[in-house]
Amino acid sequence: GEDVEQSLFLSVREGDSSVINCTYTDSSSTYLYWYKQEPGAGLQLLTYIFSNMDMKQDQRLTVLLNKKDKHLSLRIADTQTGDSAIYFCAEKRGRNNDMRFGAGTRLTVKP
Amino acid sequence: DTGVSQNPRHKITKRGQNVTFRCDPISEHNRLYWYRQTLGQGPEFLTYFQNEAQLEKSRLLSDRFSAERPKGSFSTLEIQRTEQGDSAMYLCASSLGPNSYEQYFGPGTRLTVT
């Protein structure tokens, strides 16, 4: 399809790991991103991965990229209540300069 | 705070009126982007500038929309003859330059057209 797709909701307990999944559209996408949006706020860049990598780790965040399946995931270890937000997956396609975003996954962390 | 700033944060206007939003990017960033975000959706690309030049426009940017970046610093987005369908969050982002892959977003301007 033409859309970046994400599941809409995820609920986890505090201290558990969260895994947010995304499928993107363009095999020529050069960079893939995860952004976090809290209520009433803009988007905060969390992490990104270049398309020639298959994993990137940054503190509690682990990004996995399966280029063959055009599948991207974000794992948050030891999820905290402050991680509750909407998480957007985005791709920067080939020679274009725009980014295409998914609809976002709302992560709820229960105490 | 040296992040991207946008003004106003909220704007309520009547259908048919014109509105203008402003974005101040991070000071050394050459690229500036405008996105629109409707409820329950991710941002959609509208247009971007490299310095003062507008290099790309989305098909979402109808003739009623115009964006400028006259001195290559701040940018304005004007919507003429607003329609209810224009109600959305308008987000601005900036990046360092052509080889930069990190876009930093401002807090957005929420437009409500009544």
Write the pLDDT tens digit of every residue in A65-98: 999 999 999 999 999 999 999 999 999 875 556 7
- DSSP labels, A29-70: --EEEEEEE-TT--EEEEEEEETT-SEEEETTEEEEEETTTT
Question: What is the predicted pLDDT for the residue at A1?
Answer: 43
Q: Looking at the DSSP assignment, which residues form a beta bridge with residue B109?
A: B90
**pLDDT for the residue A39:** 86
What pLDDT sits at residue A95? 58
From chain A, the residues in CB contact with B61 under 8 A are none
Share of chain A above pLDDT 90, in %: 72
- Residues A83, A18 contacting (CB under 8 angstroms): yes
Q: What is the average pLDDT across B32-44?
A: 93
Q: Which of A22, A102, A35, A72 minimizes the C-alpha distance to A64?
A: A72
Cβ within 8 Å of B, A 84-103:
88, 90, 92, 96-103
Burial bucket for residue B6 (CB in 10 Å: 0-12, 13-18, 19+)? buried
- The minimal CB distance from A99 to the residues B40, B45, B108 is found for B45
**Contact: B108, A92; criterion CB under 8 Å:** no
Nearest C-alpha neighbor of B65 from the set B34, B89, B40: B34
Is A35's CB within 8 Å of B105's CB? yes
pLDDT classification of A2: cutoffs 50, 70, 90: low
Average pLDDT of every residue of chain B: 93
Dihedral Cα A98, A66, A63, B38, nearest 10 deg: 40
Residue with tokens 């503190």: A59
Q: How far apart are CA B99 and CA B63, in angstroms?
A: 30
Q: Are strands A85-92 and A31-37 parallel, antiparallel or unpaired?
A: antiparallel
Does A42 contact B106 at a Cβ distance shorter than 8 Å? Answer: yes
User: What is the pLDDT at residue A6?
Assistant: 95
Q: How confident is the model at residue B72 (pLDDT cuts 50, 70, 90)?
A: confident
The SS3 of residue B16 is coil
B1 CB-near residues (< 8 Å, 6+ apart): none
